[in-house]
Structure formats: structure tokens, C-alpha cells
């Protein structure tokens, strides 16, 4: 999971360093070993480079934190689409939330990050859309739990509470945590899906 968050150039440097270490270990004559090692790294680089997600980012305000989040997501290799005040001024949080949530529900994007002053309004509005599990998170552990146990597909943040560093920590765990495959966790999500059909 950590490997995914490295930039491509960092991965290439890591590969070259590892190959040099093999050389220093008197293994340079073992062409097959070096070739296999190189092929594994190239395969990982290919997978990681092609593992790009479409991420929608929306907010009713444009701030330093929202811009940093956009920059980080792009550095991670994701395709980022902007909504609300991030695209043009004068956006309502309710409209931004519904617009972004519908993109996620229709699978036009893979995941989303939403902001408003408290984070509460934008999360509430996003959760009005069927199939959406927007989680308001103010720390990394909550973000990790939202992905792990709730299979949350929208990360909502408070512009009042979340600092640049905290936002980075939450993004890191959000995109490096996979949903649980434990029976109890799957049963809870299945129950929600079934109930949602009757609403």
C-alpha cells in the first residue's frame, strides 16, 4: 500500500538503488536473478502507473487546504475533476454535494472528496443520493475506519477544523485502505443496500 503512494520517479530510484545493492552483493554475475528482479519492478511500476482513479473534488469555498488536496491527488497520479467554488465562485454546498455524489453513484468517478465549513452539511447532502456513503472525518484514524468498515466512497472534510497536515494524513490512509472482507462488515453493508432499495 505504501508503494502506491510513491511518485513514479521515486519508484524508479528505488529500483535502481536495489539493483546496485544486488551488484554490491556479488550477484552481478547472476544475470537471471537481476533480470527477474528488474522485470518484477517494471511490472509493479506499470501496475501502479496505470492504477489511476477518477476523483471528484468539490467545495463551496476555495482555500489553501482545498488546493493542497487537489495538488496531492494529482501527484498521486489520479485524474481530478473540480466542482463548486473550485471551478467557479458562488457555489452552494448542497448543490455541490448532490452533483458530486451523483457522479460517484453513476460510477462516472471512482471516489470523491468534499469540503464545507463544518463538513456536516456537505456530508448530509451527499448521503441523500442512493449508493453514497459519505464520511465526515476529522482525523486519519476515522478516515481509515470509514474505508475499512464502511466502504465509504466520499471523504468529507471540515474547512474550519482540518489543517494542511491533517488533510494529507487522511488522504494517505483513505487511498491506502481497502474495505474489509470480514463477514460481519459485509453483512452490515448488505443490510444498508437492501434497506436503501425500500426508501
Place of cell 482555500: 63
Angle at 161 between CA 87 and CA 178, to 5 degrees: 75
- Helix, strand, coil percentages in the chain from 3-state DSSP, rounded to 5: 60, 15, 30
The catalytic residue among 116, 135, 146, 162 is 116
Measured CA to CA, the distance from residue 199 to residue 197 in angstroms comes to: 6
Beta bridge partners of 111: 55
CA atoms within 13 A on the CB side of 164: 8
Q: Can 116 be counted among the known catalytic residues?
A: yes
CB 111 within 8 A of CB 53: yes
**Among all residues, which ones are annotated catalytic?**
116
Amino acid at each position: 500500500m505504501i508503494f502506491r503512494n510513491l511518485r513514479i520517479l521515486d519508484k524508479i530510484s528505488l529500483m535502481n538503488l536495489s539493483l546496485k545493492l544486488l551488484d554490491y552483493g556479488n550477484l552481478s554475475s547472476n544475470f537471471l536473478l537481476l533480470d527477474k528482479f528488474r522485470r518484477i519492478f517494471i511490472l509493479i511500476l506499470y501496475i501502479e502507473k496505470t492504477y489511476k482513479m477518477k476523483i471528484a473534488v468539490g467545495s463551496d469555498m476555495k482555500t489553501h487546504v482545498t488546493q493542497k488536496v487537489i495538488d496531492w491527488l494529482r501527484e498521486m497520479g489520479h485524474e481530478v475533476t473540480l466542482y463548486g467554488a473550485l471551478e467557479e465562485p458562488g457555489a452552494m454546498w448542497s448543490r455541490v454535494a448532490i452533483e458530486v455524489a451523483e457522479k460517484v453513484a453513476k460510477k462516472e468517478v471512482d471516489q470523491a472528496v468534499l469540503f464545507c465549513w463544518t463538513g456536516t452539511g456537505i456530508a448530509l447532502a451527499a448521503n441523500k443520493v442512493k449508493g453514497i456513503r459519505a464520511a465526515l472525518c476529522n482525523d486519519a484514524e476515522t478516515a481509515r475506519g470509514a474505508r475499512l468498515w464502511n466502504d465509504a466512497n466520499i471523504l468529507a472534510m471540515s474547512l474550519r477544523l482540518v489543517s494542511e497536515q491533517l488533510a494529507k494524513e487522511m488522504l494517505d490512509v483513505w487511498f491506502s485502505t481497502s474495505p474489509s472482507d470480514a463477514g460481519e462488515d459485509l453483512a452490515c453493508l448488505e443490510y444498508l443496500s437492501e434497506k436503501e432499495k425500500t426508501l
